[in-house]
Structure 1
Amino acid sequence: MSRKLVPLIILLLASLGLGWTWQRQADQNADADVLRLYGNIDIREIQLAFNGSEHLDEILVEEGARVTAGQVLARLHRERLQAAAAAAEARLAAQVQAVAALEAGTRPEEIEQARAALAAARADAQAAERTYRRIAGLAQRKLASQEQLDEARARRDAALAHVEQTRAALALAEAGPRAEDIAAARAVRDALAAELALARQALADAELKAPADGIIRDRILEPGDFATPQTPVLTLARIDPVWVRAFAPEPTLGRIRPGLPARIRTDSFPGKSYRGWVGYISPTAEFTPKTVETPDLRTRLVYRLRIPVCNPNGELRLGMPVTVEIDTTAEPLANPGDTLCHAADARP
């Protein structure tokens, strides 16, 4: 080998070594900026139960079925509930008519009838008065007995009282129902309306609906079983939102802030990542080794993190192990759910 090439070779090797060292240092710095945590997918589950007690009529879904919010999942026997609702509706309809009659007041025909009764009573009173006077004149001439006079006086007084009675009846007919009676009838109507609303709500509660989108995990009861509010019928696993439950060592807490973007990877889908963000950091340690810790033991404390993940295709499932990469140099997002999951491309 020529002696002239030795310095060139040494210079080339030194350049390669410097470049490798610089690249390694850059990689180490980049790795230092990315915090890697390991955890599992956490999905909230809902125990679905009826709001009433009755035998199950039918269950419309199987385990593993994907359901949407508001979808009917199961029904109770509804014959008694339907009959109760129909009876409440009939009672309310009758009371509504009673209130309408009171509010309408006395009919003109009834007022005319009361006036005619008053005129007849006055005519009877006038006739009784003439009879009494005639018998009184006969009694003065000893042509009528005292008993006849007393009977004539009594018929006259009765006729006059009947006139007052028919006059009061006419006044009542013209005045119409009392305001207190109308108010009481309206109160009864409102109470019956509330009873009908309760009956209809009980009938509606005979259908078990999904409160959110999700997947049926367990089918606990079967048709014919007796369902109660304390007995779940189905278990629903929510597919949105999905979280990663991870644990961060105590020394890393100073680098983690809520809202920091994260990437989530899983062995089930190699080469694919999901967008997420730091949503919750536990204020207390999950595991405290001893009451009195040495400096070495304090570094073993871990804090639970909840990292919401965009899961548009429902690929992340409960308990799935994942790797979380958090860029500690990024700026926290103000509305990470809207920024990440509602973007046009939610899968980076």
Structure 2
Amino acid sequence: MKKYFLFAAVLALFSCKNSDQDYDASGTFEADEIMVTAKANGTILRLDVEEGQELAIHEKVGEIDPKNLELQKEQVIASIEALDQKTNSPVPQIQVLQTQVSAQSATISVLQEQLDNAVRERNRTANLVAKDAATRKQLDDANGQVKVLQKQISAAQSQLNILQQQISTAKDNVSIQNRAVLSERKPTLKKVEQIDELLKNNTIESPIAGMVLTKYMNEGEFAITGKPVFKMAGLDLMILKTFITGDQLPQVKTGQTVKVYIDQGDSKTKEFPGTIYWISSKAEFTPKTIQTKNERANLVYATKIHVKNDGFLKIGMYGDVKFK
């Protein structure tokens, strides 16, 4: 019985090994690479990245000297504060006019009192004339005095209206002048917001979660907008690029699920599920470094397979594929 189990185990291992070696295609793993470039000009004050280092998404890893932008921001803020000093107040001018209004109102009050007295005196004189106790001339003089006072009151009232109009005009003029000055505040505040947005560009951060592949710049070097700082790649979803022959082409399609294998040593392999997401529409000659199922094939089609990485897959690692 023990000999039977030993024979069965050896047979199973041999069959498994032969089956594992019967792959439909082979290739190497790649990843979508992203070039992280400088978004601002200036000296790099800090850059905490090394090749092979894994970064989290939006992780802040460096800073470009923001001094010039900060000075611009301070200048704009100072100009905003200066706007308040450019505005005028109508209070001093209005106070002078209000004093004149008060004096004119007092004058009118005095004239009105004189008019009231003159009217009473005219009425008394008119009664005396009716009784032949006063002359007609005295009544005419009394009527003349009333008319003079009425004209003086009318002129004083006109002057009072002019002063009140001057107060209203002074308020309007100062308000218009201040609006013209303060109208600069809103666009100037927008300049501050623009500078704040530009200051964000002075922070160097990783756009994705992944590994740093190549570092191009170091602390102390001068960064220019668009100049590469480092290159990284996302490793969560790997790409197995392989080639298939024309005979295999009818067996595959985009969206098809396949099995991907990597070598783990000691004749062991690890299996991953994969999905074909791209097949080249043009044939090309077999690359020297790529093996296909049919070694004699001259024309092949590049194929890319998405494989979710559990941490074992590395860029440049070889992988094998079974389509069925």
TM-score bracket, shorter-length normalisation: 0.5 to 0.7
| Distance apart, 1:237 and its partner CA | 2.0
Instruction: Decide whether the 8 Å contact of 1:250 with 1:300 is kept in 2.
Output: no
User: Which is further off, 65-74 or 250-259?
Assistant: 250-259
Indicate yes or no: 2:276 matched with 1:278.
yes
Rounded Cα–Cα distance in structure 1 between residues aligned with 2:218 and 2:298: 48
| Distance apart, 1:35 and its partner CA | 7.1
Indicate yes or no: 2:209 matched with 1:213.
yes
What residue ranges of structure 2 are gaps of 5+ in the alignment?
1-14, 108-158, 287-296
1:278–1:166 CA distance, 2 compared to 1 (3 A): same
1:93–1:318 CA distance, 2 compared to 1 (3 A): farther
Indicate yes or no: 2:19 matched with 1:36.
no
Which of 48, 73, 81 is the matching residue for 1:60? 48
What's 2:194 paired with? Answer: 198
| Distance apart, 1:123 and its partner CA | 9.0
Aligned 1:171-190 pairs, distance under 5 A: 171-173=168-170, 175=172, 182=179, 184=180, 187-190=183-186
Q: After superposition, what is the alpha-carbon deviation per residue over 1:11-63, rounded to whole angstroms, capped at 9, x for unaligned?
A: xxxxxxxxxxxxx9xxxxx99xx971111111122221211111111111222
Which of 236, 239, 242 is the matching residue for 2:235? 239
Give the SS at the match of 1:217. strand
Matching residue's letter, 1:115: Q
Indicate yes or no: 2:303 matched with 1:305.
yes
Matching residue's letter, 1:229: T
What's 1:320 paired with? Answer: 317
Give the SS at the match of 1:69. coil
User: Which is further off, 264-273 or 193-202?
Assistant: 264-273
1:306–1:196 CA distance, 2 compared to 1 (3 A): same
| Distance apart, 1:110 and its partner CA | 6.8
* Structure 2 length-normalised TM: 0.63
Instruction: Decide whether the 8 Å contact of 2:263 with 2:270 is kept in 1.
Output: no
Give the SS at the match of 2:269. coil
| Distance apart, 1:111 and its partner CA | 4.9
> How large is the Cα RMSD of the aligned pairs?
3.9
Indicate yes or no: 2:256 matched with 1:260.
yes
Aligned pairs, how many?
Answer: 247
Rounded Cα–Cα distance in structure 2 between residues aligned with 1:253 and 1:114: 97
Rounded Cα–Cα distance in structure 1 between residues aligned with 2:169 and 2:283: 81
What's 2:151 paired with? Answer: none
Instruction: Decide whether the 8 Å contact of 2:264 with 2:270 is kept in 1.
Output: no
What's 2:99 paired with? Answer: 116
Matching residue's letter, 1:76: I
Rounded Cα–Cα distance in structure 1 between residues aligned with 2:182 and 2:23: 69
Instruction: Decide whether the 8 Å contact of 1:264 with 1:323 is kept in 2.
Output: yes
Aligned 1:124-139 pairs, distance under 5 A: none
User: Which is further off, 203-212 or 187-196?
Assistant: 187-196
Give the SS at the match of 2:321. strand
Percent of pairs with identical residues:
20
Rounded Cα–Cα distance in structure 2 between residues aligned with 1:253 and 1:72: 45
What residue ranges of structure 1 are gaps of 5+ in the alignment?
1-23, 25-29, 125-161, 289-298, 328-348
| Distance apart, 1:228 and its partner CA | 0.6
* Structure 1 length-normalised TM: 0.59
Q: Per chain length, whose mean CA-contact separation is higher, i.e. which structure has more relative contact order (CA < 8 Å, sep 6+)? A: 2
| Distance apart, 1:244 and its partner CA | 0.9
1:164–1:262 CA distance, 2 compared to 1 (3 A): same
Q: Identify the structure with the greater strand proportion.
A: 2
Instruction: Decide whether the 8 Å contact of 1:218 with 1:235 is kept in 2.
Output: yes
What's 1:170 paired with? Answer: 167
Rounded Cα–Cα distance in structure 1 between residues aligned with 2:166 and 2:247: 94
Instruction: Decide whether the 8 Å contact of 1:121 with 1:166 is kept in 2.
Output: no
Aligned 1:5-84 pairs, distance under 5 A: 36-84=24-72
Rounded Cα–Cα distance in structure 2 between residues aligned with 1:245 and 1:177: 74
Rounded Cα–Cα distance in structure 2 between residues aligned with 1:306 and 1:116: 91
- Structure label with greater radius of gyration: 2
What's 2:118 paired with? Answer: none
What's 1:229 paired with? Answer: 225
Rounded Cα–Cα distance in structure 1 between residues aligned with 2:236 and 2:181: 51
Give the SS at the match of 1:245. strand
Instruction: Decide whether the 8 Å contact of 2:236 with 2:309 is kept in 1.
Output: yes
What's 1:13 paired with? Answer: none
